[in-house]
Structure 1
């Protein structure tokens, strides 16, 4: 029986996002987590863009044919996540509540924007929004 492939799409050039995606784990019973760099052309990035989701405003988790975006993505990751290790336990407790995820995620996104601006990184701008290429 083939295990479900679960995709986590994020901006690899963001050091905070990259660190998070390298340590987050999901339970073995759920499937196989595959990390996808949003800056590379891929079928899932085409799907994200066609759904009108701005990858600069949130990571995307694709699971069971459904896209989870931003706070919903981090909430879903917490629910399917492994509880092994300090980071994964903290991730579960912080984001297991949909309300907590919807409050905390915008703060994390704001910190990410500041970090990328300080590092001189450009936005991915997958929706080709005019003047939306700098943080």
Structure 2
């Protein structure tokens, strides 16, 4: 996974309007390195997606952030965003305000995931199903 060693990698669902907005609005504090975006629907065959699958991170249940050999999935990814996000911008302020606390993240994340699932259904996209056997 040498190609994924530099910066922070944000793996998201490009068919989800909320996920897409989050991916493009997130700004990471400069000292933590560059933010690299990877649409999970276009990532088939990549080493990073293979590692995500190996670790059983379901991309239909949440996005993944990978940095310095560490993986953050779902609400832990949101907590990472709250902790390391730049304070500039409405999205970053929103993330930091809502997900700084484990309790708030635990309560609000299922609601956000439900909204994502509804939007995916409404726009006619299916699930990513990254953990299913292709055969």
Residue 83 (structure 2) pairs with residue 79 (structure 1): yes
Residue 105 (structure 2) pairs with residue 113 (structure 1): no
Partner SS state of residue 87, structure 1 = helix
What TM-score do you get using the length of structure 2 for normalisation? 0.89
Offset of residue 13 of structure 1: 1.0
Contact kept, 8 Å, 1:24 with 1:87, in 2: the verdict is yes
CA distance in structure 2 between the partners assigned to 1:82 and 1:4 by the alignment: 18
Give 5+ residue unaligned stretches, structure 2: none
Write the mapping of 1:23-34 to structure 2, written as runs, cut at 5 A. Answer: 23-34=25-36
Contact kept, 8 Å, 2:7 with 2:32, in 1: the verdict is no
Partner residue in 1 for 2:130: 126
Which stretches of structure 1, 4 residues or longer, exceed 3 Å deviation after superposition?
none
Deviations 1:104-134 (A, max 9, x none): 111100011111111111111011169xxxx
What TM-score do you get using the length of structure 1 for normalisation? 0.89
Residue 24 (structure 2) pairs with residue 22 (structure 1): yes
Select which of 68, 71, 77 maps to 1:67: 71
Give 5+ residue unaligned stretches, structure 1: 131-135
Offset of residue 4 of structure 1: 4.1
Higher normalized contact order (CA 8 Å, seq sep 6+, divided by chain length): 2
CA RMSD of the aligned region, Å? 1.6
CA distance in structure 2 between the partners assigned to 1:23 and 1:126 by the alignment: 25
